[in-house]
Amino acid sequence: MSDDIRLICPTPIGQYAQIVMGHGGGGRMMQQLLERLVRPAFANPHLDQRHDSAVLDVGGKRLAFTTDGYVVKPLFFPGGDIGKLAVCGTLNDLAMSGAKPLFLSAALVIEEGFPVDDLARVLASMNAAAQAAGTAIVTGDTKVVENGKGDGLYIATSGIGLIEHDLQIGPAGIREGDAILLSGDIGRHGVAIIAEREGLGFETTVESDCADLSGLVGELLKAGVELHCLRDLTRGGLAAAVLELATDSGFDMELNEDAIPVTPAVRGACEILGFDPLYVANEGRMVLFMSASVVDLALDVLHAHPLGRDAAVIGQVGAAGEGRVGLRNAYGIVRVLDLPSGEQLPRIC
Amino acid sequence: MSDDIRLICPTPIGQYAQIVMGHGGGGRMMQQLLERLVRPAFANPHLDQRHDSAVLDVGGKRLAFTTDGYVVKPLFFPGGDIGKLAVCGTLNDLAMSGAKPLFLSAALVIEEGFPVDDLARVLASMNAAAQAAGTAIVTGDTKVVENGKGDGLYIATSGIGLIEHDLQIGPAGIREGDAILLSGDIGRHGVAIIAEREGLGFETTVESDCADLSGLVGELLKAGVELHCLRDLTRGGLAAAVLELATDSGFDMELNEDAIPVTPAVRGACEILGFDPLYVANEGRMVLFMSASVVDLALDVLHAHPLGRDAAVIGQVGAAGEGRVGLRNAYGIVRVLDLPSGEQLPRIC
């Protein structure tokens, strides 16, 4: 490492001179990579919104813009495939700003030797997910890399959405006393992926929760629910999502463990695997922050939608503090949640 | 290959059941992959514009939207690196619609073991290129894959631009009799990459032409040049760009070989390597289509800009026909250009 390169990189990320798998896992190491290297490199007010999509003013219109890379392994899993995941993930990032998704793009990095039939299946799956949301993949790019320089197929999708309401939905909208709702049961995506990858045969096949939440968010807005903040649960699970929002908003938060829906199949699989469902990845679940006064209205809308059937109030926002998150169990004992260091499950999305 | 999968993939791409390197090379094989598999899978009117970026109506504004994956090898080369390339390539795709670039996004796929210092250099390079164009990287994503499942770093960038004029710049704008201009000398990017990759020592180091053309396009529009079509030259070089436009517009075209600027260093390297400069990749060059009556004005603007100093009229659009492209040499002999089958140089961008 020469001195001039040190000058360009004045903030090493912890003790690491090289990227390790944990830097992609959604935990503290990834947070360090983003906070100490990526964000400072690109510093600008839009990036500093710290939200799933950037909210931009374009010619007097409020647009949401987002991008995500997908490296999930295996490419096909119960409940979805990398194509459905890539489209739904981008739709969800737009929805988390309360944007109506309009247009999507896709960049494919294909490994030499990848079966053309598999590619056709993934493309069909992407298109089906885009069409179901009333959007389309309007532009794209295809690259091929040598055998051994990829892993079948990586996809990066971007999306543009239009914000047609006046709410400022994001971490800055969180208020003391807000109710924290969860749209459904957690942990299915992570368990589905690991079971498929490792060939584990549980009693019940767990299907990924991979789904597009934009329709459900649209219903909530149409019903007049004043949403303060939305966040979909991905890498790092429910715990990482709530911890990030607590840190970014500066409010302490408390979750009630008993109120968090986990199916018996996911709970059983997590026990066998030694995972905590709170930290397992999801791809079709979100937390919602709102005033206590609109919770009943929101639950009515959520319960009427297939993706919100099991929605529940799982906690509330406390006072402005250090952004700590407590988990209260059935006996009233509160333990403080922490971000995992690296990752439980690599390449989950 | 089971029967039900055949149903999903009714149009095999040539004789290929698996993706090969040639499918990413910018030639006929890539065209087949796109035309027979990708475009039909995503079919929609925006994708059918067949342009570098999709032009979209968003709340009464005309936006350009584009995405590109970058897998260039090596990551650092004379004249640039993957970061500068990823940003300039996306700025150029926006510029080819005559859009003013507004916002960029970046998705990183990092291989385990990648040096943090190299990542910092690439991010700094991306930010510098974005800032120079008056834009910013406003949203992004980071994924890490295992050692041996990537090649250091892949980047996908997307961009949004605003179209502030009333022209319809694109393949559909090409007219019989249009002049074809080239903004500068060709082949530098491809030669720079291959020389660096293979450790070839030519007498002169050839630097990539990697550059952002959006400022130059902005100058042309400001001067009132009525542009009919723009296309930046990337994979497949000048030949692939003009052949694609001839095919998509349905007009025959003729280029004058003598008028096409090639530096002695690039010509010499191409002779040694057995490459035809017409097919070698560029990353900061474009062809421009316009009425003969505005050529003098356009050349004035081009020659006054560092990226257009060597701009020249290199040919003209003939009658509507089969979309054939002829190359006329100094002796008046015309040979018909054809797309290469696979690729000359893999992973050039």
Among the listed residues A227, A330, A236, the one whose alpha carbon sits nearest the alpha carbon of residue A283: A236
pLDDT at B170: 95
Q: Which residue of B has its CA nearest to A101?
A: B58
Q: How far is A142 from chain B (nearest CA, A)?
A: 7
Q: How far is B36 from chain A (nearest CA, A)?
A: 10
In this complex, the residue of B1, B33, B71 whose CB is nearest that of residue A117 is: B1
* Rounded Cα distance, A339 and A325, in Å: 10
| DSSP-H helix ranges across A60-180 | 82-95, 116-132
Omega before residue A45 within 30° of 0, cis: no
Query: Which amino acid, B25?
Result: G
Task: Measure CA A53 to chain center.
Answer: 11
| Helix, strand and coil in chain A, % to nearest 5 | 35, 25, 40
Q: Which residue of A has its CA nearest to B152?
A: A149
Which residues in chain A are closer than 8 Å to B113, comparing Cβ atoms? Answer: 18-20
B62 close to B49: Cβ distance less than 8 angstroms: no
* Rounded Cα distance, A214 and A219, in Å: 9
Which residues in chain A are closer than 8 Å to B345, comparing Cβ atoms? Answer: none
Tokens of B318: 């003939």
- Residue from B57, B75, B110, B143 to probe the interface with A (highest A Cβ count within 10 Å): B143
In this complex, the residue of B22, B150, B162 whose CB is nearest that of residue A59 is: B162
Inter-chain contact A56–B138, Cβ cutoff 8 Å?
yes
Inter-chain contact A144–B17, Cβ cutoff 8 Å?
no
| Cβ within 8 Å of residue B272, ≥6 positions away | B202
In this complex, the residue of A1, A69, A158 whose CB is nearest that of residue B117 is: A1
| Cβ within 8 Å of residue B2, ≥6 positions away | none
A129 close to A88: Cβ distance less than 8 angstroms: yes
Kindly report the number of other CB atoms within 10 A of residue B342's CB atom: 16
Tokens of A9: 């990189």
Inter-chain contact A139–B21, Cβ cutoff 8 Å?
no
pLDDT at A6: 33
Inter-chain contact B139–A53, Cβ cutoff 8 Å?
yes
Give the angle subtended at the CA of A46 by the CAs of A43 and A48, to the nearest 5°.
Answer: 60
pLDDT at A144: 96
Q: Which residue of B has its CA nearest to A58?
A: B162
Which residues in chain A are closer than 8 Å to B109, comparing Cβ atoms? Answer: 69, 71, 109, 154, 156
* Rounded Cα distance, A76 and A117, in Å: 13
- Residue from B144, B151, B349 to probe the interface with A (highest A Cβ count within 10 Å): B144
- Residue from A105, A151, A153, A343 to probe the interface with B (highest B Cβ count within 10 Å): A105
Written as tens digits, the pLDDT of chain B (349 aa) is 333 333 334 445 778 999 999 999 888 899 899 999 999 999 898 887 778 899 999 888 999 999 999 999 999 999 999 999 999 999 999 999 999 999 999 999 999 999 999 999 999 999 999 999 999 999 999 999 999 999 999 999 999 999 999 999 999 999 999 999 999 999 999 999 999 998 887 777 899 999 999 999 999 999 999 999 999 999 999 999 999 999 999 999 999 999 999 999 999 999 999 999 999 999 999 999 999 999 999 999 999 999 999 999 999 999 999 999 999 999 999 999 998 876 667 899 9
Which residues in chain A are closer than 8 Å to B42, comparing Cβ atoms? Answer: 106, 123, 126-127, 130, 136-137, 140
Tokens of B235: 């994979």
* Rounded Cα distance, A289 and A174, in Å: 7
Tokens of A16: 């690491």
Q: Which residue of A has its CA nearest to B162?
A: A58
Q: Report in angstroms the alpha-carbon separations of A167 from A163, A174, A208.
A: 9, 12, 31
Inter-chain contact B145–A136, Cβ cutoff 8 Å?
no
* Rounded Cα distance, A223 and A322, in Å: 34
ipTM: 0.94
Tokens of A335: 């333990």
In this complex, the residue of A1, A6, A19 whose CB is nearest that of residue B110 is: A19
Q: How many residues does chain A have?
A: 349
pLDDT at B52: 83
CB contacts < 8 A, A to B, total: 313
Q: Which residue of B has its CA nearest to A90?
A: B141
Rg of the Cα atoms in chain B: 20
pLDDT digits (tens, 9 = 90+) for A311-341: 999 999 999 999 999 999 999 999 999 988 7
Inter-chain contact A69–B123, Cβ cutoff 8 Å?
no
pLDDT digits (tens, 9 = 90+) for B114-150: 999 999 999 999 999 999 999 999 999 999 999 999 9
Sheet holding B227-232, edge to edge: B227-232, B286-290, B179-182, B312-320, B251-256, B325-328, B334-336
Tokens of B123: 């991010």
Q: Report in angstroms the alpha-carbon separations of A323 from A105, A327, B218.
A: 35, 13, 46
Which residues in chain B are closer than 8 Å to A112, comparing Cβ atoms? Answer: 18-21
Written as tens digits, the pLDDT of chain A (349 aa) is 333 333 334 445 778 999 999 999 888 899 899 999 999 999 898 887 778 899 999 888 999 999 999 999 999 999 999 999 999 999 999 999 999 999 999 999 999 999 999 999 999 999 999 999 999 999 999 999 999 999 999 999 999 999 999 999 999 999 999 999 999 999 999 999 999 998 887 777 899 999 999 999 999 999 999 999 999 999 999 999 999 999 999 999 999 999 999 999 999 999 999 999 999 999 999 999 999 999 999 999 999 999 999 999 999 999 999 999 999 999 999 999 998 876 667 899 9
The strand pair at B61-70 and B54-58 is best described as antiparallel
Which residues in chain A are closer than 8 Å to B7, comparing Cβ atoms? Answer: none
